[in-house]
Amino acid sequence: MQQQARTAGETAPRRHHPSEETLLAYAAGSLAAGPAVVTESHLALCAPCRARLAAFRAAGGAILDALPPTPLAGEALEHCAALAALPAPARPARRLPRRQPRDIVLPASLKAYEFGRWMWLGPGVRSCRIIVPAQPRATARLLRIAPGCKIPEHGHSGAEFTLVLHGSFCDGHDRFLPGDFSEADGEVDHQPISDPGVDCICVTALEGRMRFHGLLGRLTAPFGGL
């Protein structure tokens, strides 16, 4: 990391945050696993979004509280009380992830995950998969983009969620600094470019699958999953 590196920390206010839809889906547990990883990384850095999440969770609690009841089987309470009388099973020991990238400093929010290998994606662009437990199809990845490089031109079938961890990029409209969260609609073809100076490192995930255009798309297709 170079000296002028801007690293995500709790200090500066973020300018780009997850949408209401995304935070609510996260609160409700319906956000896909990959986008949830990206959202968690933003929440770890953004107190205002943690407050919005707490409000949405409280809304979830209030909605639950006001729902009409659906009866359970007659003996459900007795069954549950009998289980409650037994000692709780020991929690499985948490295994430490075996493989993590050594060449970058991971934020605490990502330290529980195991990672794939860095793969070359195009000039100045490398990517490595974030392996989400029990979610083999999760699309979360780290992207490392050399200064002034284009992320290969792409559109995607669903929304794309990106959080800047280090460095910065510009998507043609806005600049994204460490801690900033970008949510690109599936209908837009966009071409983010990293700013000069330092590598830009992001955590990114898709709702659908990404389609690269042109030769690069065909070249990267065999690697799959991006």
Partner 1 sequence: MSDAAPAPPPVDRDGFNRMILAIAAHGDREAFAALFKHFAPRLKTFLMRSGLSATAAEEIAQETMLSVWRKAAYFDPAKAGAATWIFTIARNLKIDALRRERPVAQLPSDADETPDEAPDGEALVLTQEREAKVRAALAALSAEQAHIVRLSFFQDKPHVQIAAELGIPLGTAKSRVRLALTRLRTLLEDLG
Binding site for Zn ion (CB under 5 A): 14, 17, 46, 49
Among 3, 4, 70, 90, binds partner 1 (CB under 8 A): 70
Q: Which stretch binds partner 1 (CB under 8 A): 83-91, 165-173, 188-196, 216-224?
A: 83-91
According to CB under 8 A, which residues from 26 to 45 bind partner 1?
27-32, 36-37, 40, 43-44
Give 88 or 172: the residue with its C-beta nearer to partner 1. Answer: 88
- The answer to whether 69 and 38 are in contact (CB under 8 A) is no
Counted residue by residue, the chain has a size of 226
Residue 100, interface with partner 1 (CB under 8 A)?
no
Among 4, 11, 13, 64, binds partner 1 (CB under 8 A): 64
Kindly provide the b/e burial profile for residues 70-88, where b requires at least 16 CB atoms within 10 angstroms of the residue's own CB: eeeeeeeeeeeeeeeeeee
Residue 63, interface with partner 1 (CB under 8 A)?
yes
Kindly state the smallest distance separating residue 12's Cβ from partner 1, in Å: 18
Q: Which long-range contacts (CB under 8 A, 24 or more apart) does 48-55 make?
A: 48/13, 48/14, 48/17, 49/14, 49/17, 49/18, 49/23, 52/20, 52/23, 53/23, 53/26, 53/27
Kindly state the smallest distance separating residue 40's Cβ from Zn ion, in Å: 12
Residue 96, interface with partner 1 (CB under 8 A)?
no
Kindly state the smallest distance separating residue 21's Cβ from Zn ion, in Å: 14
Q: CA angle, corner 188, sides to 136 and 117, nearest 5?
A: 30
Q: Please give the single-letter amino acid code of residue 70.
A: T
User: In angstroms, rounded to a whole number, what is the distance separating the alpha carbons of residues 105 and 52?
Assistant: 28
Among 38, 106, 128, 132, binds partner 1 (CB under 8 A): 132
Helical residues (DSSP H) of 129-200, grouped into ranges: none
Residue 59, interface with partner 1 (CB under 8 A)?
yes
User: In angstroms, rounded to a whole number, what is the distance separating the alpha carbons of residues 199 and 167?
Assistant: 6
Residue 50, interface with partner 1 (CB under 8 A)?
yes
Kindly state the smallest distance separating residue 142's Cβ from partner 1, in Å: 16
Residue 84, interface with partner 1 (CB under 8 A)?
yes
Give 94 or 173: the residue with its C-beta nearer to partner 1. Answer: 94
